[in-house]
Amino acid sequence: MNPIRPTRRTLASAAGLLAMTLAAPAAAATCEALNDVRLPNTVIKSADVTPAGGFAGMGAVRTPDLPAFCRVVASVSTGPGSDVGVEIWLPLSSWQGVFHGNGNGGFGGVLAAGYGPMTAGLRRGYATAVTDTGTAPATPLEGDALIGQPQKWRDWGHRSTHAMTVTGKAIAEAFYGAPVRRAYYTGCSTGGQEGLIEALYYPRDYDGILVGAPVINRTWGHAAVLANDLAANLHPGRRLSGVKLRLLSNAALKECGGAGSGLVSDSFIGDPKACKFDPAVLQCHDSDLANCLTPGEVMTARAFYAGPTDRKGRPMFYGWLPGSEATGLFDWNFLQSRPNGQPPFVSLFKWVFGRDWDWSKFQVESDMAKVDAELGPIVNDATRGSLRDFRARGGKLIIYHGWADALVPPDQSVAFYDRVAREAGGVDEAQTFARLFMAPGFSHCGGGEGPGVFNAANGGAVPPPSASARHDLFAALTDWVEKGAAPSQVIATRYVENAPAKGVAMQRPLCAYPARAWRRGDGDATDAASFVCSIKRPSGK
């Protein structure tokens, strides 16, 4: 039984009653009247008008073109010990009848993580919302505050986004005196996981869902990060410096750049699954020099590529692909770092083993058996479930993931889509409601050497020239939902020196999986028109 569903029904009923009593908004008093709204299991903490231009304070949002809106902050309880923070922004004019839900990141805990996407939604005339995933006072990188808090684990794992959606829709309908006409969700990383949970378990919440780099197997994703940290830091001389990471990345590019559908001329690996790279080609013969890797550093690199293994060296989860070594904010350097004096995201293990657990003694096989037994049923819902109901009610799902992602293994998204296709009766059937776009050279939710994935809903990216559904994944999603135009490809863009003002350096199509972009003859490698989407190498190439 799902404890949220009764709340959803009662909230919808309450919204209907409120719609009859509250007129369409016209003044600050109308927004402030939401302070008196009574919804089951919900406390409205504040409801105030934010004038055009945004607001100051923690997570300040200030931009001249931001329209005035009603800002509502609420708390929703899914059960004893639950406190799911929700923030909703309601445009004071020109509401399009659309509700836009947004994802969080890491362990959540803060509402400001969604402000960028919310500003983008607000500019469109959408009522837009975010949740802190019910984990405050946790922060995205540390969840020690959740030790001994199983209700918060459940909110983080699978309840909070649905609670945000039900509450946000009810408040929007109360404010505007009209029902939500359409609903969209966008999120990346943990936000990507939240979107998949919505599609799998709450199929009526959203008409269209766009997710990037979703954390599908939560427990093993954290195990991979911890295994990486220990491979680099447990023994002296094993950590790879920035110089060594760049050396490794250049060697991988030299070995794999032209493999499969990739091009030798690219500054990124276009098809990392078509290549096997052994870092031993860089091993030093005499001493630790800047242009080679010590035997210990080679062991670290091999561990990263292999992923967590059992005592016999057999893989137990996905490793990182060639081309992901030195891509930016969340590259291998981050995985070797300890931002809070401990490996990134290690808090999840303390929920099981206790605050004083010695993570340096992590044993993959034995420890993960206990972690999965205790947390798997709570936080790994994206590894289960079905999209049958989401498909049946006409929902559309787009997933994108960078092949150079070094924080969430991209193979997870491919495996998820393959499972969806098997259940649907094949790829052709799956593509009627779900599409996957794999992005060469693209890192975790952004960055990397490859052309960038533009998602106008993220609020931070600069659109390419003539941005449209051909370039923008969110526009592609809305066109699919509202016009029935399914995207077979989108165009990714890289700017000169990553500066849009300096012009476009290259564009490349991202093809709906399992197709890949193949170059047509000797066409200009920087022009998207020089490529064709195909599962196999086109004849005559």
Give residue for tokens 């919440």: 205
Catalytic residue among 77, 82, 189, 324: 189
Catalytic residue among 266, 367, 405, 411: 405
User: Cα–Cα distance between 69 and 91 in angstroms, integer?
Assistant: 4
CA atoms within 13 A on the CB side of 463: 16
User: Cα–Cα distance between 303 and 309 in angstroms, integer?
Assistant: 9
Identify whether the C-beta of residue 387 lies closer than 8 Å to the C-beta of residue 417. no
Length of the chain: 541
User: Cα–Cα distance between 313 and 309 in angstroms, integer?
Assistant: 5
User: Cα–Cα distance between 289 and 419 in angstroms, integer?
Assistant: 46
Identify whether the C-beta of residue 191 lies closer than 8 Å to the C-beta of residue 102. yes
Three-class SS string for 212-249? ECCCCCHHHHHHHHHHHHHHHHCCCCCCCCHHHHHHHH
**Within 10 Å of residue 290's Cβ, how many Cβ atoms?**
8
Does residue 331 sit in helix, strand or coil? coil
Identify whether 189 is a catalytic site residue: yes
Q: Are strands 208-212 and 182-188 parallel, antiparallel or unpaired?
A: parallel
Identify whether the C-beta of residue 330 lies closer than 8 Å to the C-beta of residue 250. no
Which residues, at least 6 apart from 11, have a Cβ–Cβ distance to it below 8 Å? 39, 40, 42, 166, 167, 169, 170
Identify whether 100 is a catalytic site residue: no
**Within 10 Å of residue 6's Cβ, how many Cβ atoms?**
12
Phi, psi dihedral angles at 79 (to 5 degrees): 160, 180
Catalytic residue among 75, 444, 471, 472: 444
Identify whether 162 is a catalytic site residue: no
The residues annotated as belonging to the active site are: 189, 405, 444
